[in-house]
Chains A and B, each alone.
Chain A
Amino acid sequence: MVRHDMRSTMTAVLERNTVVREDFATEPYELPWASEARFFVQALEADGVLEFHTEISPDGLHWCPLEDTAHHIDSPGLITWPVTGFGQWLRVRCSVAPGAAAKLRIYLVGKG
């Protein structure tokens, strides 16, 4: 088998212009080959506070938080955070404050 010295990278668009008004989690995404990852959350519109947590899973069925850190967005813009030391499944859980709403794109980038 030919192994490349150059690292691989892969970007998945997990949500695309998705309007959210209540709590949700992105679909399970596998990155078994990646040693590091990064979420990008782009709020095209935002009214109120949204809070994001990284969650990981051993099987794509059962989920736990990766860390205590929360990431917030309350206005249009792009936020990002790195993810390391995960099992092969990743997702982001979002808590939407009462009355809040947003239109989101969510990217997951893996590198290994």
Chain B
Amino acid sequence: MNVNDARLTKYNPLSRVLCFDTFDTTTHGWTELLGNYDGSGDLDTVDDHMRDFRPPQLSSCSFFDVGTHGTMSGDYALKLATRPHPGHTATGIRRLTMAGRGLVRIETHFAFKAEATVGHEAPSSVGWDGNRHPSESQFGAFTVATDICADGGVRFHNVIRYQNTDLDGEMTQRWMYPVVPEPTPRDHVEGKFALPYAADFTAPDPADWRTFDEKLELCVNEVPTKINWHYLRWDIDTSTRSNVELQLNDRVMDMRDVPVPPYADRYDTLENLLNFYFSVRTHSGVRNFLFLDSVLISVEW
């Protein structure tokens, strides 16, 4: 076997591969998300909470203490990096459409970290004891989600979030999902809400999130500059607008009972929309990073 085959054999795709994104060659269509704006290109009309999701970067995963770490299977990872501002979110979005309906699978190998603090100490609910490290509690959450619309404008989002800490910085380590659809720019134009900078764009009210499955500890590996690649597989079904299953390393979680709330109103211009995004959100004001070694999206249609 050619060693480069490992790039694919570490995945388990469905029958039709739509995208296999390895970040040694460009960002492969993963781009910054931006809110909508008016017909004159006036970016001041973008919602405050959707105007600064930061551009993805191609990273060699280099750090102050060991230099270049590298990725799971290559030179470069796709890196999402927040600002050092509490609540700030960075996103990478991939925009597709659907040539059918059925099972859709997104797989990735990812790593997550808070930025190292050097020469000073940032607030943390975890102390350093030679094993655990304060940076462990300076990472907020990462999210994988969709934006799907079809069948005459019915729009919905399948969303999963790993919340590492709550907004107070206390360790939670839970999977979560929102019970409301994401506020849209049209909602804002219609006067239904106005959200401030760094609001949670997926679902702004913490009361609209629920946990599922058990507490799950991921591999932090003790300091902010040792990155370990985690496998994630998430299956959804666009024919039933439902969640199916989530796998994180050796934990397989049934998501069939996790609801997917549709928007009450219909949406134009989005027929057969199939978007995916990854996002990372800091709760601490320390920059948070999500590194993607590669991403594979496959379907059964």
A residues near B (Cβ < 8 Å) are 1-2, 4, 8, 10, 12-14, 16-17, 27-33, 58-62, 88, 105
Q: Chain A's nearest CB lies how many Å from the CB of B234?
A: 27
Tell whether, in the assembled complex, residue A62 and residue B64 are in contact, meaning their CB atoms are under 8 Å apart: yes
Tell whether, in the assembled complex, residue A17 and residue B51 are in contact, meaning their CB atoms are under 8 Å apart: yes
B residues near A (Cβ < 8 Å) are 4, 24-27, 32, 34, 43-44, 46, 51-52, 54-55, 57-60, 62-64, 74-76, 79, 81, 83, 115-116, 118
Pairs of residues from A and B, 9 with the lowest C-beta to C-beta distance, nearest first: A59-B64, A12-B55, A32-B60, A17-B43, A30-B57, A30-B59, A8-B26, A1-B4, A61-B64
Taken together as a complex, chains A and B put the C-alpha atoms of A28 and B83 apart, in Å, by 9
Taken together as a complex, chains A and B put the C-alpha atoms of A56 and B54 apart, in Å, by 19
Taken together as a complex, chains A and B put the C-alpha atoms of A61 and B26 apart, in Å, by 25
Q: Please give, as numbers and ranges, the residues of chain A lying within 8 Å of B55 by CB-CB distance.
A: 12-14, 29
Q: List 7 A-B residue pairs with CB atoms under 8 Å apart, sorted by A's residue number.
A: A10-B58, A12-B55, A30-B79, A32-B62, A61-B115, A61-B116, A62-B64
Taken together as a complex, chains A and B put the C-alpha atoms of A105 and B34 apart, in Å, by 14
Q: Please give, as numbers and ranges, the residues of chain B lying within 8 Å of A4 by CB-CB distance.
A: 25
Kindly report which residue of chain A lies nearest to residue B43, judged by CB atoms.
A17
Tell whether, in the assembled complex, residue B58 and residue A30 are in contact, meaning their CB atoms are under 8 Å apart: yes
Tell whether, in the assembled complex, residue B75 and residue A27 are in contact, meaning their CB atoms are under 8 Å apart: no
Q: What DSSP secondary structure best describes chain B's contact surface?
A: loop
Contacts A12-B57, A14-B55, A28-B81 given; does A59 touch B63 at CB 8 Å: yes
Q: Chain A's nearest CB lies how many Å from the CB of B83?
A: 6
Taken together as a complex, chains A and B put the C-alpha atoms of A33 and B76 apart, in Å, by 8
Taken together as a complex, chains A and B put the C-alpha atoms of A13 and B46 apart, in Å, by 15
Q: Please give, as numbers and ranges, the residues of chain A lying within 8 Å of B32 by CB-CB distance.
A: 13
Tell whether, in the assembled complex, residue B118 and residue A8 are in contact, meaning their CB atoms are under 8 Å apart: no
Tell whether, in the assembled complex, residue B52 and residue A88 are in contact, meaning their CB atoms are under 8 Å apart: no
Kindly report which residue of chain A lies nearest to residue B27, judged by CB atoms.
A10
Q: Please give, as numbers and ranges, the residues of chain B lying within 8 Å of A17 by CB-CB distance.
A: 43-44, 51
Taken together as a complex, chains A and B put the C-alpha atoms of A88 and B54 apart, in Å, by 18
Q: Please give, as numbers and ranges, the residues of chain B lying within 8 Å of A12 by CB-CB distance.
A: 55, 57
Q: Chain A's nearest CB lies how many Å from the CB of B110?
A: 17
Q: Please give, as numbers and ranges, the residues of chain A lying within 8 Å of B116 by CB-CB distance.
A: 61
Kindly report which residue of chain B lies nearest to residue A1, judged by CB atoms.
B4
Taken together as a complex, chains A and B put the C-alpha atoms of A23 and B299 apart, in Å, by 49
Which of the residues B46, B52, B58, B118 comes within 8 Å of A32, measured between beta carbons?
B58
Taken together as a complex, chains A and B put the C-alpha atoms of A61 and B114 apart, in Å, by 13
Tell whether, in the assembled complex, residue B25 and residue A8 are in contact, meaning their CB atoms are under 8 Å apart: yes
Taken together as a complex, chains A and B put the C-alpha atoms of A105 and B62 apart, in Å, by 28
Tell whether, in the assembled complex, residue A88 and residue B60 are in contact, meaning their CB atoms are under 8 Å apart: yes
Q: Chain A's nearest CB lies how many Å from the CB of B67?
A: 8
Taken together as a complex, chains A and B put the C-alpha atoms of A68 and B205 apart, in Å, by 48
Contacts A12-B57, A27-B81, A33-B76 given; does A61 touch B52 at CB 8 Å: no
Kindly report which residue of chain B lies nearest to residue A9, judged by CB atoms.
B26
Kindly report which residue of chain A lies nearest to residue B54, judged by CB atoms.
A27
